[in-house]
Structure 1
Amino acid sequence: MRAWLIETNSDGFNALRLGDAERPIPGPSELLIRVAAVGINRADLLQVKGLYPPPPGTNPKIPGLEYAGVVEAVGSGVQHRRVGDRVMGLVPGAAYAEYVTVQEREAIPVPEGMALTSAAAIPEAFMTAYRAIFIEGDLKPGQACLIQPVSSGVGLAGAQLVHALGGTAIGSSRSEEKLAQAQGLAAGIVDGRDDFVEAVKQATGGEGVAVVFDMLGGGGRMNQTLECVRNDGRVIIIGLMSGREDQVDFGHVLRRRLTLRAFTMRSQPLEERIRIAQRFIDELLPLFERGRLRPDIAAVHPFSDAPGAHAVMASNSHCGKLILDISQ
């Protein structure tokens, strides 16, 4: 099968090369998926650079965390999926290929009428945002959530989710133009121009937000982020776009009983991945089917142009998800 492989060049740097890989064989409880489209994530770029290896047991040479496609074959113990079903979902890696195997209970049905290139933009963004804001952050209807930056694929999904589930979404971005593209946003903050702590206070009547959904991390920003949170609030960290290190006033955290949590979707065990997928099917899939949620797509690239799509992501010039279409 065709697949994008991570190889080391003569200069010592890693790069992607389109080549051949062995087609995977599904186990008893697994599905073989003929992949139609792949969502691109920053983790893919880090894996190519050798900075974010996949979990043990996953092919380290093929990147890719999310897919949409059609069930090609099923294992002997599969009960709930059939050949021909259209499905989408997350995998620990190896999605940049024509075929991938997944545990049947991780596979999520694609909403009827939705193109597979659109479906490929859903799993990582919406499942990550839902887990961060509503499971780890425990956001309730009527509460406010700060999403930074809201212009990423995950951030855009978070804004939609907060709005659809009865919360108030406040988002930050370095681009006013990108802020305008965020659906469901009650207030937008332009980083580098606005006083974002003051803007959050104004948007929440001086109280602060119940949850911060943070993809920026350190780099001198965390203390300001903490000032945006109300007493007993939560900061959920899933990325380090601004830096890995910071100085934090933990007295501030103690006095106001704040909670800091962090996670990655990729490293979680199979049982947790299944639990999140099942919650998605029960709670979010109906919202897609009714049109209350929709994927935000910046561009669809042909499968042959994966390096070009990676360059677009690295430039931060896009707003929304970048997709690889394997039919092209």
Structure 2
Amino acid sequence: MSDMMQAVIASGAGGPDVLDVIQTERPTPGNGQILIRVHAAGVNRPDVMQREGNYPPPPGASDIFGLELAGTVEALGAGASRFAKGDRVMALVPSGAYAEWAVVHETNALPVPDGVSMIEAGAIPETYFTVWSNVFQRAGLTAGETILIHGGTSGIGTTTILLAKALGCRVLVTCGSDDKCAAALKNGADVAINYKTADFVAEAKKATDGNGPEVILDMVGGDYMQRNIEAVAIDGRIAQIAFQKPPKAELNMLQLLTKRLTWTGSTLRARPVEMKAALARALEENVLPLLAKGAAHPVIDSTYPLANVREAHARMDSGQHVGKIVLTMMDDGA
């Protein structure tokens, strides 16, 4: 086992060209941690925000990029006993996934179910943890309800479609083109709204007999915040997970009272290990059985070797992707 590895850091803030593959020391697992030989790592919107200088790693975290990975356990730190050497695992990390080796607290890792490839597994933790926490725990989406997802072909969007449909919900999405609407419908959405040619508030009302969806998942912000309040059903819930538009807007909050609304938001990266561990156990109970049955596998847009990380980020920046972009460190992908 070499003491060195390849990993991705940024030379500054900017576009994909600031990303560099460097040689650095392989990490050593600490107390309760496992060392993972990384096979695949997902590329996510927060990675782009970090590259642009807008989302630094939490204090004490590595400056190596990447929030999710899949691989094999190669060594155990003191006190780690949940996994054995050679086990296939996928894990959520605060940083460090864009590398040949990574360490993670064993409680923040999950076993990779049979039938799930390493490439698929590398695309699961960040989006599935985020969706389960915000859509099903915080917003309380349940079977028989309708959810409106903004950005239906993003990694978060495709994941939410898959999980919501697998758990008996109706799904509306917004997308920026007819082609993306068609892709969302193919992925399982019931209704796809081109927000560039139609008013999503009116279309969401129309698709729900005038009631509006019970839950809205928003990562846009800006003027969408007022429109979400108008679109959501009475006793509805809005889950805010990001801001692609400004986080500030002038809002009329009267309907928050008259509709008895719940508006919730959260971030995942900076949560303590213990909170992520509890979320991991929730996924183990509710999501891994779906994956084991062949349901709700992530939609993979494209894969790139680690050396081509700039191309992977350029693909993300283009906005043309449908589903997850994945970096590969091993050539088997199995």
TM-score by length of 1: 0.95
Q: Which residue is equivalent to 1:304?
A: 307
Q: Which residue is equivalent to 1:205?
A: 209
Residue 122, structure 1, aligned to residue 124, structure 2: yes
Structure 2 unmatched runs, 5+: none
Q: Which residue is equivalent to 2:316?
A: 313
Aligned counterpart in structure 1 of residue 200 of structure 2, from 191, 196, 203? 196
User: CA–CA distance in 2 between the matches of 1:98 and 1:316?
Assistant: 27
Q: State the 1:221 CA deviation.
A: 2.1
**Secondary structure of 2:277 counterpart:** helix
Q: Answer yes or no: is the 8 Å Cα contact 2:151–2:157 preserved in 1.
A: yes
Within-5 A mapping of 1:139-288: 139-182=141-184, 183-218=187-222, 220-288=223-291
Q: Which has the higher contact order (CA 8 A, sep 6+)?
A: 2
Q: State the 1:110 CA deviation.
A: 0.8
User: CA–CA distance in 1 between the matches of 2:84 and 2:282?
Assistant: 21
Q: Answer yes or no: is the 8 Å Cα contact 1:37–1:116 preserved in 2.
A: yes
Partner deviation per Cα, 1:66-108 (whole Å, 9 max, x = no partner): 0010001012312220000000021001111111111111111
Residue 22, structure 1, aligned to residue 25, structure 2: yes
User: CA–CA distance in 1 between the matches of 2:47 and 2:302?
Assistant: 17
Q: State the 1:14 CA deviation.
A: 8.1
Q: Which residue is equivalent to 2:295?
A: 292
Q: Answer yes or no: is the 8 Å Cα contact 1:209–1:233 preserved in 2.
A: yes
Q: State the 1:45 CA deviation.
A: 1.4
- Runs of 4+ deviating beyond 3 Å: none
Q: Which residue is equivalent to 2:111?
A: 109
Partner deviation per Cα, 1:139-172 (whole Å, 9 max, x = no partner): 1211111100111011111011111111111111
Letter in 2 for 1:55: P
**Secondary structure of 2:71 counterpart:** strand
Q: Which residue is equivalent to 1:71?
A: 73
Partner deviation per Cα, 1:17-67 (whole Å, 9 max, x = no partner): 11111111111211000101110011111112221011111012x110000
Q: Answer yes or no: is the 8 Å Cα contact 1:8–1:14 preserved in 2.
A: no
**Secondary structure of 1:124 counterpart:** helix
Structure 1 unmatched runs, 5+: none
Q: Answer yes or no: is the 8 Å Cα contact 1:88–1:107 preserved in 2.
A: yes
Alignment length (residue pairs): 325
Partner deviation per Cα, 1:262-313 (whole Å, 9 max, x = no partner): 1111111111100111111111001011012111010001110001111110
**Secondary structure of 2:287 counterpart:** helix
Q: Answer yes or no: is the 8 Å Cα contact 2:299–2:324 preserved in 1.
A: yes
Partner deviation per Cα, 1:196-250 (whole Å, 9 max, x = no partner): 11111121111111110111111x2221111111112111011112332211111
User: CA–CA distance in 2 between the matches of 1:173 and 1:242?
Assistant: 15
Q: State the 1:315 CA deviation.
A: 1.2
User: CA–CA distance in 2 between the matches of 1:52 and 1:89?
Assistant: 20
Letter in 1 for 2:309: A
RMSD across aligned C-alpha pairs, in angstroms? 1.7
**Secondary structure of 1:230 counterpart:** coil
Q: Answer yes or no: is the 8 Å Cα contact 2:115–2:292 preserved in 1.
A: no
Q: Answer yes or no: is the 8 Å Cα contact 1:197–1:228 preserved in 2.
A: yes
